[in-house]
Amino acid sequence: MSKPVCRLCSSTDAELIGEKVADAPESKQYKCRQCDIVYLFPIMNEKEEADFYRAEFEKYMAGRSGASWKSPQSHFRSYQPEGERRLPLVRPFLKPEDDVLEIGSSTGYFLDDLRGYVNSVTGLEPSQAYRDYANSIGIKTYNSLDDLAGKKFDVLFLYYVLEHLRDPIDYMSSLSNWLNPNGRILLEVPNVDDVLLSPYNIPNFAPFYWQKAHYYNFSQKTLNDVLIRAGYDVQMIPAQRYDLSNHMVWMMEGKPGGVGRFKEIFTPELEIAYAEALKKQWRCDTLFAVMELKK
Ligand SMILES: [Zn+2]
């Protein structure tokens, strides 16, 4: 097998930190000793990548059990809590006159939430079934950025996109073509310093967390570095999506899905205090970044 090479700084000095990657027995996780990024190596080639996303989507449409085909409409409904989670985080960065674009907008559940707060919402979504659904409820959604050539927006959103990209610096830098001079980009990625990975070191968590399609796993530092290299001023904000029950179930049973299980015992005050403690130490599960073009 070839030696790992950091795709961000070309260094070959790497520490092996993850042996098992879900669905990618030939790949491992490394941490670059030069720039600190955690990266998957090797990654899929472009053809494998295209086949992977096509197969993933077909699997999704078929339902994992084979029985429960999820319509775009039921997907839209089941993601309402996720839209509600995002809203208070982004509202301080929105103005009523903003034209916003979400890249990877799915069925439009989040843009639907934003409609009351901004001037216009537009989506970008490669899945035709999701795109058709979003358009049917009045959220203009396009297939690719090429369909929006010459357009400019005040706010771009990217949720869980960056970690999938072959060249995140080049991609983020190219987005400035769609951004007004005073515009903002708001994005979220998973935090590789998630407390469940370390120091909890839950044996089943790492092989669940390291994924074949996540070419990069960002920390507060490495996300900031990448976004600065792409040409932006960056403000980094910690966020916590999963609750204390979810963490307890990982510890007890080594599996996901525990959100809310002990809500009779864990008071809202306790949940808030736990999340705040994780965020304060950047051991939370989510990194939220707000970017502006370098002045
Ligand atoms: Zn590096």
* Gap from CA of 291 to ligand 1 centroid (Å): 22
* Gap from CA of 157 to ligand 1 centroid (Å): 26
* Gap from CA of 181 to ligand 1 centroid (Å): 31
> How confident is the model at residue 67, as a pLDDT?
47
* Gap from CA of 12 to ligand 1 centroid (Å): 8
Closest residue by Cα to residue 242 from 254, 255, 260: 260
CA distances from 184 to 91, 153, 181 (A): 12, 9, 9
Strand-pair category, 216-217 with 120-124 = unpaired
Strand residue runs (E) in 22-98: 28-32, 38-41
Distance CA 121, CA 139 (A): 7
> How confident is the model at residue 277, as a pLDDT?
98
Q: Which two tokens stand for residue 158?
A: 């990217």
Instruction: Give this prediction's pTM.
Output: 0.95
pLDDT (tens digit per residue) in 109-142: 999 999 999 999 999 999 999 999 999 999 999 9
* Gap from CA of 4 to ligand 1 centroid (Å): 10
> How confident is the model at residue 65, as a pLDDT?
47
CA distances from 281 to 157, 240, 257, 277, 285 (A): 25, 12, 24, 7, 11
The mean of the pLDDT values for the chain is 94
Give the burial string for 251-271 (b: 16+ CB within 10 Å, else e): eeeeeeebeebeeeebeeeeb
* Gap from CA of 103 to ligand 1 centroid (Å): 27
* Gap from CA of 225 to ligand 1 centroid (Å): 11
Contact between 15 and 31 (Cβ < 8 Å):
yes
* Gap from CA of 7 to ligand 1 centroid (Å): 7
* For residue 108, pLDDT beyond 70: yes
Contact between 84 and 101 (Cβ < 8 Å):
no
Alpha helices (H) in 137-243, listed in sequence order: 168-174, 205-209, 220-229
pLDDT (tens digit per residue) in 81-95: 999 999 999 999 999
> How confident is the model at residue 60, as a pLDDT?
66
* Gap from CA of 200 to ligand 1 centroid (Å): 26
Q: Which two tokens stand for residue 267?
A: 């008071």
pLDDT (tens digit per residue) in 215-251: 999 999 999 999 999 999 999 999 999 999 999 999 9
Which residue(s) pair with 31 in the sheet?
15, 38
Contact between 101 and 157 (Cβ < 8 Å):
yes
Q: In degrees rounded to 5, what are phi and psi of residue 53?
A: -70, -30
* Gap from CA of 31 to ligand 1 centroid (Å): 8
pLDDT (tens digit per residue) in 39-65: 999 999 999 999 998 887 777 666 544
